[in-house]
Structure 1
Amino acid sequence: GEVAKAVMVIARRSPNSKTIAWVNALGKAARSLPALEKEALRWLDLPAKEKSDAELIAAMTLVLRQGYKIAAPALMNAARNRKSESVHVAVVQSLAKFSQPKVGDDLLSLWPKASSRVHAEILAALVTRPERVNSLLGALEKNTVAKADIPASILNTLRAQKDGGTRARVTKLFGAPAKVKSRAQVLAEFQPSLKLKGNPVIGKTVFTQRCALCHRAVKEGNLLGPDLVAVKANGVEKLLISILDPNREVVANYMAYDVALKNGTTHTGLLGEETTTHIRIKLPLGQQVLLPRAQVKSMSSGGKSLMPEGLEAGVSPQQMADLLAFITGL
């Protein structure tokens, strides 16, 4: 068919950015192209003056086709040699596509020099498989990863692990969950935020730390939950309720789904488009996964928002006022 013809054309061309882009566009429909895959692997060793970060990232898809034993060392080497955040994000996302037990340790070896954005990517990848969760808990127990670096959403995922021994380790590290306050109590505690004068500059920092994983504000952050420019017109009172009580009103397209795969991976995200053969799951940090239905073991929703309760932990009423000032000033 047409795909076979396109592959034949690509196979005759010398490996370059354009041919790599074509193969990436064809995805699994493109058969093995050894010359192109070998060239992509070579690129991962080259300095930025020879291959741009964008070219390197495009080449990673072809490197992944060569399997974990070949791809993992090349990806780790690229992470060591390149300083750009975009390359490090791509390395984490690429490694996360493998199911080998050592992937957790590979990801954690990148942690010490990683930016906050790359930390978020590493954590998101670590909580998708039980053996990676164990690697993360080991790093927390050794203080290789600081407990303060674990956001509420990741801690909630760790506390919800199916294995009792794993949950016990989480409790030993973080203590038993604090006695859960009702959302009405939390809202009452933060009512002063509505009267305090907020500083939008400080509020932007709160946004970056707490909201940018899933929300966009103009050009910053990720568009998974509602765009904050679109919701600012709701006013500060409704914004405060949405932040502190995300499950009060959950629109169907922002409902969280847990999708368990037959290979042991679990994805928690928003349901994208569905076909008779595939399901698309939208994830934090702007990621998406297209899953063949044949690989899905189960899919369930508790009717709750993907946005977790408890994001206010460690936030003062003044910081909440700052965040509200930032959002309403967009």
Structure 2
Amino acid sequence: DTAALIAWLSHPNAWQRETAQRLLRERATTAETLRSTLTELAESKPASALGKLHTLWLHATLSSRAAGGAAPLLSLTQNAPPELAENIVLIAHRHPSYFGKDTREVAARAAASGGTRARMLALLTTRSTAAQVPVTIKSLLRAAEDLDDPWFQHAVMVHLAGHTGRFAGGLLAGPFADKAADNRAAFIRDLAAMTAASKDKEDLAALLAPLRTAPGELRWWKAAILEGLAQGLPKAGVRSLAEFASVPTPGKDDPRAEIPGLLERAGRIISDASLPDDLRIASMPLLSQQPYETSAPVLKELVSGRQPAAISRAAFAIIRKHGAKKTAPLLYEILPSANPGLRQEIIALLGNDAVTLPDMLQRMDRGEVPKSLVDAESRWRFLQSKDAVIKSLAEKLFDRPAEDRAGVIKAYLPAADAKGDSTKGRELFTQLCSACHTYQGHGSSVGPDISDVRAKDKRALINDILDPNRMIEARWSAYLVRMKDGRTLSGIIDSETPSAVVVKMPGGVSETVARADISAMESHDASLMPVGLEGGISVSQMADLLAFLRGET
């Protein structure tokens, strides 16, 4: 009967609870049975949180079907534990008329007692009116334990769209600003970027106001605000942070007057090796806001071998943003003293730009730059170039791999019977294969995972390595994507949409490019794995690589 099924709503067994809920819902098909079920549910006194949860959901659902609805079971929403509180918030969202005028109060009360998840749900499922925004902001600023949670941060930005500057200004006026952390800096940066892109002058003024705190001092959150402004301003039609700070010329009380001095201060902090690396790296994005001519001397020092690797990587990321054409003289200057990893990145940057590539190959031809720095994939790409000058230089520098694949394979078959050193083979895999393949969890997933080759015959492996185009699936075909800005991307097409293409390149790096920015996209009907690997590996080294791939000890 109905009373027994209602009692089952509090049963510890999930099947019985859900079956009871389904049967009660299905049986309430007439106005009379619907009203009687609602009455019995209202008179039930579930003690457990699960019982209250199922009773509330069923009562709200049946109430929406009854003429005139039913009085909500407000007593079941008091002092709700987290799992019940989350569901109360969802009920208020799914059945907005159920709690009537009390909806916002019930949801707010449940969120307050339910923990971070319930409060995040409340933000995502409700909207504050303009009049309610100040109250919402004050409430959020009191929820200090929530504001370090990245998902809660996203919920705040969704709920307060159009008011993010006001929220950031209030946040930085409190204890949140006292403790630096990566997730806090990212939150302030994202709030600033949203505010700058919104074109709301009042909200932007609220965001900028904290810059007047401790004038001239570059605190972590000031760097985050400036980085966010630099990301958001172009969406509002302002080209750069420097333009924003100078047009119109800010007055003494305008927070924008602080920006030039903060950018200059950032350069000094980044160059000061006595300061903590995390502070220097946090200030690094601001260096990209300065004209390249101003930042070049600092960047040159930062990518020198005298700096920690993390600093050099962050500095080179800025150099990459400026592009190969502008930075080529600096790249050639730092190339001789750069560490091996950085040298590869320099060559890749120069080799991916149609303007700087011919000069790089000519320097290699003159012996000024070691041609050994060019990896096998790039050599193959240069040899496939439609530019006669590039193709001629590449053939002169790198030669074409032997066309007789059968002859090359025959020359390497002795490696199948030789005893290899798997330790040396691991090093060879890292050097030659890991940019595109994963093996036992190591490497990059550009081409297929080759962890299963342990069971493969060594002679078959030699065939696969030296003749990669013998059998190839369409999804692993190599593509050259020529960009209108002169760059050339080489890799596989990871995914496509009507407006964009995702190119996955050696090293596991993916780049999403707009179709409008592509001048040509060509499939070579060949594997991304280059033919001619024998040019970089001897027979004995092949034996080492095979030993590693087969898991030999």
Task: Tell me the TM-score range normalised by the shorter chain.
Answer: 0.7 to 0.9
Partner-residue secondary structure (3-state), 1:224 = coil
C-alpha spacing 1:314/1:16, structure 2 compared with 1 (3 Å): closer
2:533 aligns with 311
Decide which of 119, 126, 130 is 2:350's aligned counterpart.
Answer: 126
- How has the CA–CA distance of structure 1 residues 171 and 50 changed in structure 2, closer, same or farther, with 3 Å as cutoff? same
Deviations for 1:176-220, whole angstroms, at most 9, x for unmatched residues?
536x33222222222111111111122123223322332344565
The corresponding residue for 2:428 is 206
Spell out, residue by residue over 1:202-256, the C-alpha distance to the aligned partner (whole angstroms, 9 max, x if none).
2123223322332344565433223443443444344322211111222333221
Are the equivalent residues in 2 in contact too, given 1:254–1:305 (CA < 8 A)? yes
Do the aligned partners of residues 164 and 96 (structure 1) sit closer, same or farther apart at CA in structure 2, a change above 3 Å counting?
same
1:46 counterpart = 2:272: yes
Q: Is the Cα–Cα contact under 8 Å of residues 434 and 444 in structure 2 kept in the other structure?
A: yes
Report deviation, 1:320.
0.4
CA distance in 1, matches of 2:300, 2:403: 44
Cα 1:314–1:266 change in 2 (3 A) is: closer
* Superposition RMSD in Å: 3.5
Check conservation: 1:203, 1:319, Cα contact below 8 A: yes
Which residue, out of 341, 348, 361, partners 1:117? 341
**Shift of the alpha carbon at 1:325?**
0.7
Cα distance per residue 1:73-123 (max 9 Å; x no partner): 443332137534444344444423334623223223232122332222222
TM-score, normalised to structure 1, is 0.81
CA drift of 1:19 comes to: 5.2
Equivalent residue number for residue 31 of structure 1? 232
- 1:43 Cα shift? 4.4
Q: Does 1:139 align with 2:340?
A: no
Q: Distance in 2 between matches of 1:90 and 1:216?
A: 26
**What SS class does the counterpart of residue 418 from structure 2 fall into?**
coil
Work out whether residues 303 and 338 of structure 2, in 8 Å CA contact, stay in contact via their aligned partners in 1: no
Is 1:88 paired with 2:312? Answer: yes
Whether the aligned pair in 2 keeps the contact of 1:24 and 1:61 (CA below 8 Å) is no
1:323 is displaced (CA, Å) by 0.4
TM-score by length of 2: 0.51
Structure ranking higher in helix proportion: 2
Decide whether the 8 Å contact of 1:213 with 1:285 is kept in 2.
Answer: yes
Q: Judge which range, 161-170 or 269-278, deviates more.
A: 161-170
* Match status 1:223 vs 2:445: yes
- Name which of 522, 529, 540 aligns with 1:300: 522
- Bigger CA drift: 86-95 or 126-135? 86-95
Task: Tell me, in whole angstroms, the C-alpha distance in 2 between the residues paired with 1:284 and 1:60.
Answer: 27
Q: CA deviation at 1:62?
A: 4.8
1:323 matched to which residue of 2? 545
Q: How does 1:185-264 map to 2 (within 5 A)?
A: 185-218=407-440, 220-264=442-486
Q: For this pair of structures, how many residues does the alignment match?
A: 326
The question of 1:271 aligning with 2:474 is answered no
Structure 1: 5+ residue stretches without partners: none
Retained in 2: the 8 A contact 1:280–1:290? yes
* TM-fit CA distance, 1:21: 2.8
Q: Secondary structure at the match of 1:130?
A: coil
Determine if contact 2:484/2:517 at 8 Å carries over to the other structure.
yes
- Alignment map for 1:56-67 (pairs within 5 Å): 56-57=280-281, 59-66=283-290
1:21 matches 2:196? no
Structure 1 Cα separation of the partners of residues 291 and 166 of structure 2: 23
* Higher deviation after alignment, 312-321 or 151-160: 151-160
How many Å apart are 1:49 and its aligned residue?
4.5
1:236, 1:5 → 2: CA distance?
A: 64
The 3 A distance-change label for structure 1 pair 18 and 183 is: same
Name the structure 2 match of 1:283. 505
* 1:184 partner letter: A
Judged with a 3 Å threshold, the aligned counterparts in structure 2 of structure 1 residues 197 and 288 are, in CA distance, closer, same or farther, namely: same
The answer as to 2:149 corresponding to 1:149 is no
Aligned residues of 2:377 and 2:528 also touching (Cα < 8 A): no
CA distances 1:30-59 after superposition (whole Å, capped 9, x unpaired): 42467598365554323274223xx65565
Name the aligned partner's letter for residue 341 of structure 2.
R
CA contact (8 A) 2:271 2:302 kept: yes
Mapped pair 1:177 → 2:400: yes
Q: Is the Cα–Cα contact under 8 Å of residues 133 and 158 in structure 1 kept in the other structure?
A: no
What stretches of structure 2 of length at least 5 have no aligned partner? 1-156, 198-230, 234-240, 246-258
Q: Distance in 2 between matches of 1:7 and 1:300?
A: 46
Supply the distance in 1 between the matched residues of 2:166 and 2:499 (Cα, whole angstroms): 27
